[in-house]
Structure 1
Amino acid sequence: MPVFIHLKELYISWHSKFYKFPKTSKFSIGTKIDSLFVYSIEQVSLANITYNIEKLGHIKIALSSIDTLKVFLQIAWELGLVETKHYSELSEKIDVVGKMLGGWYGQTLKQNSPAKAREK
């Protein structure tokens, strides 16, 4: 699944920078960002193996986690914990993942709409 692959690669890119955080920030905002990445990956994995309303819930949670991740990543950048170049790369990739999740959510919602159910 493409969104899972993008998210996994994004996490690997993040993780290589996470270890360079100063100790005080690593165990606060760094851990929060890392946890949001992991949680998003978990939700995408669960959405990939579930159906209907349950799938929608996991996708929605992943979208929310990605939005929160963007905020914390921006804070880390503003604090000087993430280099501008790396922040820019991560932000662009996070936006792509967000759009993919939004499209997946919309498609799943449409497939499970009452009008679609009447067609069956």
Structure 2
Amino acid sequence: MSYDLAVWDGPSPADDAAALEVFEGLYDRFMRGEDQSPTPRIRQYIDGLVARWLHLGDEYEDEDASPWSDGPLINNASGLLFYFGMVFSKYQEAAEFAADLARSSGLVCFDPQDRRLIT
């Protein structure tokens, strides 16, 4: 079981309902549509995540040390959107770090399970 987050490069929606609408549009465009290279800000964000925890399988003797549910993380990014999963047993620490990094990077962080912005 995994816990997913969506991070995107763009203006912050006014509320959770608007964020859900933006997320669904971005997901359809970038995850279901034609794959596009991630924006430089999304790439930089992913670099920040893997500076904290390596990609799943990278140099870890114990794969349980990584919070990511798959890897490399860059494979979960397309265009403006990065949609990624964390193993449920480690999601709280990883999600908190991911949300803080998104905020400090000027990116939007959205929890699709709870359908809410993470601010």
Q: Which has the higher contact order (CA 8 A, sep 6+)?
A: 2
Structure with greater helix percent:
1
Higher Rg = 1
- TM-score of the superposition, structure 1-length normalised? 0.36
Q: Is the strand fraction higher in 1 or 2?
A: 2
TM-score (norm 2): 0.36
